[in-house]
Amino acid sequence: MNVCRTACLLVLAVTLTRPFIATPAQAQQGDVVVYSGRREPLILPIIERFRQETGLRVTVRSGSIGELANLVLEERGRPRADVVISNEVSVLEVLRREGALEPYLGAAVRAVPREFRAHDGAWIGLSLRAHVVMVNRDRLAEWGLPAPASMLDLAHPRWRGRIVMPVFTNEYIVAWLSALRLARGDAWTEQFFQQLREGRPTLVAGGTQVRQAVARGEAAAGIANHYYYHLQVAEGSRNIDVIYPDQGQEGMGVLVSPSGIATVMGGPNPAGARRFVDFLAADRRAQEFYARANYEYPILPGVPLHPDVRPLDRVRRMAVTYQQLGELRDSTLRFIREGAFR
């Protein structure tokens, strides 16, 4: 298994159908230039659908959303991107607060519930994901481990060396630790984080590596978003289960957070950017793709959830806002890297 002990950053120039989806170096006047922090299989098919229906060329740069967000900030004097897509809207909230995003609340995106968009329209949610635990039933039995009812169980010494999770600087993990700070406070979160780290979890690049490691039995449990479990089952794995932790009356709930999209302030193609945002965020066909192909929770009302996915009305959620997660992101990252929240 490819193990990563430090932040794994990947910036790729990607093409889906040449020459219509091009790289930044190939961008032409009139292209919609997109910086995307989502895994390519989860977003490129719907970008290609947009291209087919509108005839607009799309330039895509994929990679770590943290690195791409920094690029948006570096280019503020002369923006090259029109749109940024994030796997975590807390990153977009940071860009909003920095003044790097253009508020947009067109008629189409106003259909997105208020909970899942910035109050000024600077970012719009695309889909929802629940932060869950995947387990390998064979390894639980072999190692005599109880199925974890809470994320907090994974800090117990019995799980030492038996967990796989994304690197601590992965945006999902940063958002989760920020949510724990809101739920339990900084002192408690610091202690939990130290216990989790002392348990020597195997750190990998992201959810794909988590699901594969759990399915292969290289770990008894893995921390990932819920759709990775369903993608692994779709590939034929039958020895894994998904646990929505911290449920019940006393549970703090799971973190449910959106992926998101935003228009870059001063981007070269604002008209194309708005059409692109309308399509990816508010077109029913795009929402159906997120639900059907990606097993994500659709945001638009009335779009059916994949039948294999637990409905959100049966999930106890953490009581946090995405604005709060954005406000805490930088200090949480600083804590992960330097051991201090301030």
Q: What ranges do the domains of the chain cover?
A: 11-128+257-309+327-332, 129-255
pLDDT of 16 reads 35
HSE (CB half, 13 Å, CA atoms) of 278? Answer: 12
Beta bridge partners of 132: 224
Q: How far is CA 317 from CA 252, 313, 327, in A?
A: 7, 9, 20
From first to last of the 342 residues of the chain, give the pLDDT tens digit: 333 332 332 222 333 333 345 455 555 567 999 999 999 999 999 999 999 999 999 999 999 999 999 999 999 999 999 999 999 999 999 999 999 999 999 999 999 999 999 999 999 999 999 999 999 999 999 999 999 999 999 999 999 999 999 999 999 999 999 999 999 999 999 999 999 999 999 999 999 999 999 999 999 999 999 999 999 999 999 999 999 999 988 899 999 999 999 999 999 999 999 999 999 999 999 999 999 999 999 999 999 999 999 999 999 999 999 999 999 999 999 999 988 776
Here the contacts of 43-49 (C-beta below 8 Å, separation 24 or greater) are: 43/85, 44/14, 44/16, 45/16, 45/289, 45/293, 46/279, 46/280, 46/286, 46/289, 46/290, 47/16, 47/21, 47/280, 48/16, 48/17, 48/20, 48/21, 49/285, 49/286, 49/289
Please name which of 331, 6, 318 lies closest in space to residue 190, comparing C-alpha atoms: 331
pLDDT of 279 reads 97
pLDDT of 12 reads 28
Q: What is the CATH number of domain 129-255?
A: 3.40.190.10
- Phi then psi dihedrals of residue 80, to 5 deg: -105, -25
C-alpha torsion angle, residues 235, 202, 159, 217 (rounded to 10):
30
Considering only the top CATH level, what class is 11-128+257-309+327-332? alpha beta
Q: Is the peptide bond before 19 cis (omega within 30 degrees of 0)?
A: yes
Please name which of 29, 74, 92 lies closest in space to residue 83, comparing C-alpha atoms: 92
What does the alpha-carbon distance between residue 235 and residue 268 come to, in Å, rounded to a whole number?
A: 41
326 and 187 Cβ atoms separated by less than 8 Å:
no
Same fold, 11-128+257-309+327-332 and 129-255: yes
How many residues comprise the chain? 342
pLDDT of 3 reads 36
